[in-house]
Amino acid sequence: MSWEQWPYGSVAQERWERLRAQERLPAALLWVGPEGIGKTPLALQVAASLFGQGKETPVPTLSHPHLWLAVPKPSSMPIEEAVNRFREALRADLLLSLAEWENLLGTKGSLSIGVEVARHLQSFLSLSVPSGSWRVIVFWHAELLTRQAANALLKLVEEPPANVLFLFLATRAEALPATLRSRCQVWRFPPLNDEALRALAGQELPIATLRMARGSYARLRRLLSPEQTPYIQALRSWLRAIWASTPPADLSETLELLAQAPQLSELLLMGTQLILDHPQLNLAQKALGVDTLLSLADEIEAHLSPSLLLWEATVRLQKGWQAPNFPLEWLHS
């Protein structure tokens, strides 16, 4: 599978091959961009090129002995177990999302890349390798590095052994300490535009669906998944009913279905785009809606009851959206 089959693959390949041709490979790369645009498979393509694996699918690269992976995990899970499970998950889906990874691990909102990775990495780098062989260190969702882990990595990144490439994949550069960012060459990957999303999906898509995808091909795939359809419909019905002042008691079935949605917090983030696109909501009403859904998503990530939270959000939005001359002060009430 070639670079071109991934979003931004051609751009990344051209830039990468230019660096190699000029013999200007950095010790560390920081790739920043939203989830679901292909940073992970492109990172494996980079590794495959250094390992001499050519243009074949990057999946075999996952088992290469010179590839080292750091992934967010619960503090109680051994690193080896987390990495093995991550490799299997990527073999099934190279566009694996953080929410899907959390579901596979059976945990929510408690994942991090802790300081113990620095000790394991030092052991990995101390192993002898054939002369001229490259080793690639990939940090998946590097924004989840703890401060202690980031600090422990500074020396390694600043003065790495020969033929070692650090690849930090992150959704937010500012989540990494400035001291670590300054040691990396930063590549930025913007959200995919509508044309790119349609091309990847291989079909015409309504504007509302593209807006909810928010530039992420992985998110678009989930939106188009038959399993997700009833929950997306429930989300739309819920927001329409709130706008129509439907009594909360009449929304019990819709709220019950929404509460059962897998990756509900991500679905709510998609719902913010529906609010922003609503032609009849004014700026203050949209601000309240987005604020409510973002807060709701955070609270669900904190393991609070989805059913109760959805009920409270329904009451809050109905009260705010139907208030005459809706004031901005509502946002702080």
Q: What is the CATH number of the domain that holds 86?
A: 3.40.50.300
Global pTM value? 0.78
Reference 221, options 23, 34, 37, 3; nearest CA is: 37
- Report the alpha-carbon distance of residue 123 to residue 136 in Å, rounded: 14
| Residues 35-63: tens digit of each pLDDT | 888 999 999 999 999 998 655 556 678 88
Residues 237 and 165 occupy one common structural domain: no
Grouping H, G, I as helix, E, B as strand and the rest as coil, residue 68 is: strand
What HEC string does 268-306 produce? HHHHHHHHHCCCCCCHHHHHHHHHHHHHHHHHHHCCCCH
- Report the alpha-carbon distance of residue 167 to residue 137 in Å, rounded: 6
User: Does residue 196 lie within any of the structural domains?
Assistant: no
Q: Are 18 and 185 in contact (CB under 8 A)?
A: no
**Sorting pLDDT into bands at 50, 70 and 90, what band is 323?**
low
Residues 160 and 232 occupy one common structural domain: no
Residues 85 and 233 occupy one common structural domain: no
**Sorting pLDDT into bands at 50, 70 and 90, what band is 202?**
confident
Which segment of 81-85, 117-121, 286-290, 328-332 scores lowest on mean pLDDT?
A: 328-332
Reference 299, options 315, 311, 283, 317; nearest CA is: 311
User: Does residue 210 lie within any of the structural domains?
Assistant: no
pLDDT at 234 over 50: yes
Domain region containing 275: 225-332
pLDDT at 331 over 70: no
Q: What is the DSSP string of 14-45?
A: HHHHHHHHTT---SEEEEE--TTSSHHHHHHH
Residues 242 and 178 occupy one common structural domain: no
Last residue of a domain, one of 140, 171, 188: 188
What average pLDDT score do residues 6-17 get?
91
Residues 142 and 249 occupy one common structural domain: no
Residues 162 and 241 occupy one common structural domain: no
User: Does residue 153 lie within any of the structural domains?
Assistant: yes
- Report the alpha-carbon distance of residue 99 to residue 291 in Å, rounded: 21
Last residue of a domain, one of 162, 188, 214: 188
Total structural domains within the chain? 2
**Sorting pLDDT into bands at 50, 70 and 90, what band is 195?**
confident
User: Does residue 95 lie within any of the structural domains?
Assistant: yes
Last residue of a domain, one of 137, 160, 188: 188
User: Does residue 79 lie within any of the structural domains?
Assistant: yes
Residues 146 and 293 occupy one common structural domain: no
Q: Are 111 and 74 in contact (CB under 8 A)?
A: yes
User: Does residue 96 lie within any of the structural domains?
Assistant: yes
CA 136: distance to chain centroid? Answer: 21
Residues 237 and 184 occupy one common structural domain: no
**Sorting pLDDT into bands at 50, 70 and 90, what band is 299?**
confident
Long-range contacts: 255-259, Cβ < 8 Å, 24+? Answer: 255/307, 255/310, 255/311, 255/314, 256/307, 257/230, 257/231, 258/231, 258/234, 258/306, 258/310, 259/306, 259/307, 259/310
Burial of 192: CB neighbours in 10 Å, binned 0-12, 13-18, 19+:
buried
pLDDT at 326 over 60: no
Reference 179, options 202, 149, 209; nearest CA is: 149
